[in-house]
Amino acid sequence: MKKPYFPLFVDLSEKKVYVIGAGTIAKRRIRSLIDFTDHLTVVAPEVNPELNTLEQEGRIAILRKKFELKDIVDADLVIAATNDHTLNNDIYEYCIGENILVNVCNDKQKCDFYFPGLAMTDQVVVGVTANGTNHKMAKKVVEKIREMLGECL
């Protein structure tokens, strides 16, 4: 049986994180990531309005353009979250070749790491995965943990 993924708590504060795509899925991931890095760049021609606000607040940078591989030459971590699956796959292939950690949101086989559901307070960070098998269960567990942490505050 495949072994579960280890919950490694990583210092992303100085890492260059790129999210390609700026739709529904990307927005949720960006909302999670901004608490962990000051170097988050989004590349997409169409951008969810909530992300414009984060840009105005200086919390993310946005390149409003179609993605090109040269956009991520200095990347440490990449999330491919466009609705173009061929492009997501190209991003995956490039990142694997360049040893850049990559997550492709529409294909769990193309993820160096899974994106966790997050529950956070000032003192605690909890990340939850169902090992790629059940994002609905991950969501349910996260909601329970959020309630529990809320009760402790």
Ligand X SMILES: NC(=O)C1=CN([C@@H]2O[C@H](COP(=O)(O)OP(=O)(O)OC[C@H]3O[C@@H](n4cnc5c(N)ncnc54)[C@H](O)[C@@H]3O)[C@@H](O)[C@H]2O)C=CC1
Site string for ligand X, 67-106 (x = CB under 6 A): x-------------xxxxx-x-----------------xx
Q: For residues 38 and 89, which CB has a smaller minimum distance to ligand X in the complex?
A: 89
Locate 19 and state its tokens: 């999210």
Cα separation, 33 vs 43, in Å, equals 15
Cα separation, 103 vs 79, in Å, equals 5
**In sequence order, what DSSP letters do the residues of 24-44 get, joined into one string?**
HHHHHHHHHHTTT-S-EEEE-
Task: From 15-23, 53-61, 65-73, 100-108, give the range in contact with ligand SHN by CB under 6 A.
Answer: 100-108
Task: From 10-18, 33-41, 61-69, 114-122, give the range in contact with ligand SHN by CB under 6 A.
Answer: 114-122
Task: From 12-20, 28-36, 57-65, 70-78, give the range in contact with ligand SHN by CB under 6 A.
Answer: 28-36
- Inter-residue contact 62 to 47 (CB < 8 Å): yes
Nearest to 119 by CA among 146, 85, 147: 146
Locate 135 and state its tokens: 């994002």
Name the minimum Å distance from CB 104 to ligand SHN: 7
Cα separation, 44 vs 113, in Å, equals 22
130 binds, among ligand X, ligand SHN, none (CB under 5 to 8 A by kind): ligand SHN
Per CB under 6 A, residues contacting ligand SHN are 28-29, 32, 103, 105-108, 111, 114-117, 129-136, 138-139, 142
Per CB under 6 A, residues contacting ligand X are 20-26, 43-46, 66-67, 81-85, 87, 105-106
